[in-house]
A and B are shown apart, each in its own frame.
Chain A
């Protein structure tokens, strides 16, 4: 049996490296469009300040992008190095969007970024704008394919298990691409990235405005960021992930956990604002509820029920019992591929195979599962409620706080009064970390909320790992922590340095604090 320590360390390493990667991705996703907007204004008006804006914010974009690339390779490697059985079991489906991402998106983005930085004097204005635009398109297509892959982990459509090859095989590519889960995720995630890019530019511009330096440059940047940020934050909230929660059981389970909804509530369910969660007794000591709202958000109807945790677990218990039959039939078939009786049994029960495999966390032979072990497996099928509940609320809270900020910032730029409101500029500066925290919380809710599965209902997390030694994991984890700490220090140092230097770092002679590069 696979040691629990190995599974925990593998999860920790993946979570740490994935969340670290996502410090850089959202900023790339958002800033690239701000660069497109700024450069478009330059091409249309011919005003050189807009070119300088594109170049200066592009410089910061580049510092961020370098670490996005660095840490992205880790993730592609890691499916193979640490999640070998996962890679084998679902590579037929999961590998395809990753490969297509490379071919369709990442090549485009990475080739164009070189021309973006080096092509200013060699390309015409329009050609350069086209390069920036293609870079943005590539970046966002890249997110699309990655989220198609991730969406499939939450809602594994268009695929079927084959006992002959001992893996999931694709049956319908378009079902995988148009997975409603993936589409909702894509819109939500890229919009969150746009908010991050907007907040970055808004905060740093606010700092220049507070210091009354490079005012013309900063005011324009502030205005673009405020407008783009407002549109994006509305998109995150309105087209939010919630619309995806109606599809697939993974999302229903997540919804129940993050709403701390132990019992199925009659439709339309109320939205729990805060609650005192009692995980041991599986209930809430008290809760504050707004009637109707949750049913409306979650199901887009007033008559559909949202299942509670107790009902989900009761259903999963039946599926685990069916799953035991499926696992037995599968093992008979693996011993003898022509066992026709086993084949018939397997075909009838294979939908629950994954649930049977959940028991392998505790016993090698699923028939040896005692009622106590089955209870534990049933309890595993819903993630812990407390972290889900509060992480989700913190994310949503930050989202609304940013909505207010971008709303006020947009209003003030319309009125041309942003300079007169230092409190607004200060708030914008201090809220700089907000989108990052919200993004990380969002991923936590999405991925922790899918546990105990890597592929919901198909492959349990504990079976997905590579059969490595625990020491190898300690070693690699230590290595990642070491490298990533140094890289983060270096990146932050450069980012702060160039943000402080401001547009003067371009060396054009048009800005304040114009200093030679080595200052």
Chain B
């Protein structure tokens, strides 16, 4: 078995990989959902849009579910504290997600304009609300979240839902929404043609520029936000105990990692460059490459947030010493090791059969396809 500190870092990376996998895969479905009512102007156009993700959204959603499960297994205290603390935010995400399975599967089973348009807006909610809330949640993590622990490690959260919607967090929400829309747009542009593709490219390039502006803005803002820093010495191999350290809040603390490791600047660089190149490639109709660069931009954005916070995962604003970090929120060495091997074995298989599924369904989805498969298509 690898030593405990290595496993703790590996799991920080793996949670990052799962979040990025979620953003790339489920993210493009959600982006398509966000764009659906705007780039599809009649029923056939909307069915074209929906059927680009029809065979895949279900598998892609498992990135989200597995991500949640992995956080539960690898960082139980984070899972417990974040999900219960962000109670209403999580419920809003959950209820928004309700619209997706039924929206996809039930929409075209009945020939009624009101029925179909209701589910179209349902798919819009299911696609647009979760990324917005996740962005807002990250914006709040960067500011610290008001929770504390007692001696039994029972967590109590002292904020409320409306406090989550502060200006910085909302800006982070814009970054997240824009990047997911760009991602969905790049995918949709690749799988459609004609007027739908035109509208999509317009929307996606707009989203790319919006993402860059909001991301850079948030980056400047971050320098004046009070970050967190551990002031006691940390034994990285110790058993996790979030109450055994001391933490201070200070402005600019989130920039420390970048000062110490200038190579980390590649991450925000990747975010900005990725988005700009995506908008260029989309205009040149290199849609597949645009999907790749958009995905790289997602790696950049999520990587930037993670690198700023490291080693913090969930800082506490009301009891900074109780902040959850990579070192003191992990599960046991055995569980981390076991889960690591499970991931090493299954992740390549998942990527393999997912790629196969995409290659089976490759090609443009057209109005003709929808008419020919009226009974079978979504």
Q: Which residues of chain A have a CB within 8 Å of any CB of chain B?
A: 62-63, 65-67, 69-70, 72-74, 76-77, 79-82, 84-88, 90-96, 98-104, 106-108, 110-115, 117-120, 122-123, 162, 164-167, 169-171, 173, 331, 334-335, 466-468, 472, 475-476, 479, 483, 487, 490-491, 494, 497-498, 505-507, 516-518
Contact = CB atoms under 8 A, between A and B. Distances in A.
A95 B76 contact: yes
Contacts of A66: 101-102, 104-106
B155 A84 contact: yes
A187 B314 CA distance: 40
Contacts of A88: 76-77, 80-81, 153, 155
B84 A468 contact: yes
A170 B335 contact: yes
A77 B72 CA distance: 10
Nearest to A121: B373
A12 to B, nearest CB: 16
Contacts of A80: 68, 72, 79-80, 82-84, 90
B154 interface: yes
Where chain B touches its partner, the secondary structure class is helix
A335 B152 CA distance: 10
B213 interface: no
B102 A74 contact: no
A487 B98 contact: yes
B109 interface: yes
B70 A102 contact: yes
B119 to A, nearest CB: 10
7 contacts: A70-B100, A72-B65, A81-B84, A84-B80, A114-B55, A165-B240, A466-B80
Contacts of A120: 376
B360 A169 contact: no
A468 B87 contact: yes
B368 interface: no
Contacts of B56: 111, 114
Interface residues on B, range: 35 or more
Please provide the 5 A-B residue pairs with the shortest distance between their CB atoms, ordered closest to farther: A91-B76, A80-B83, A518-B111, A102-B66, A95-B73
A54 B225 CA distance: 59
A206 to B, nearest CB: 24
Given A69-B58, A111-B354, A518-B111, A92 B69 contact: no
B360 A115 contact: yes
A315 B361 CA distance: 62
Contacts, number: 250
Given A67-B102, A467-B156, A81 B376 contact: no
Contacts of A95: 69, 72-74, 76, 79, 331, 335
Contacts of B157: 467
Chain A interface, >50% SS class: helix
Given A77-B68, A170-B338, A467-B154, 7 more contacts: A66-B101, A77-B90, A80-B72, A91-B331, A111-B357, A466-B84, A518-B111
Interface stretch (B176-184, B251-259, B345-353): B345-353
Contacts of B155: 84-85, 88, 467
B95 interface: yes
B83 A84 contact: yes
B80 A87 contact: yes
Contact of B109 (A76, A98, A117, A498): A498
A67 to B, nearest CB: 7
B72 A111 contact: no
A80 B68 CA distance: 10
A92 B90 contact: no
B120 to A, nearest CB: 15
B105 to A, nearest CB: 4
B94 interface: yes
A498 B105 CA distance: 13
B91 interface: yes
Contact of A487 (B68, B79, B102): B102
A70 B152 CA distance: 34
Interface string B100-136: 1110111001111000000000000000000000000
Contacts of A166: 152-153
A20 B343 CA distance: 31
Most chain B CB within 10 A, of A63, A90, A91, A119, is at A91
A101 B339 CA distance: 11
A79 B77 CA distance: 12
B353 A85 contact: no
Given A99-B70, A100-B342, A490 B84 contact: no
B167 interface: no
Contacts of A483: 95, 98
Contacts of A468: 84, 87
Given A117-B376, A170-B335, A99 B69 contact: yes
B332 interface: yes
Contacts of B62: 102, 106-107, 110-111
A472 B361 contact: no
B154 A85 contact: yes
B88 interface: yes
Contacts of B350: 103, 107-108, 111
A81 B83 contact: yes
A103 B90 contact: no
Contacts of A123: 360
A490 B151 contact: no
Given A96-B339, A518-B111, A110 B59 contact: yes
Contact of A335 (B65, B151, B375): B151
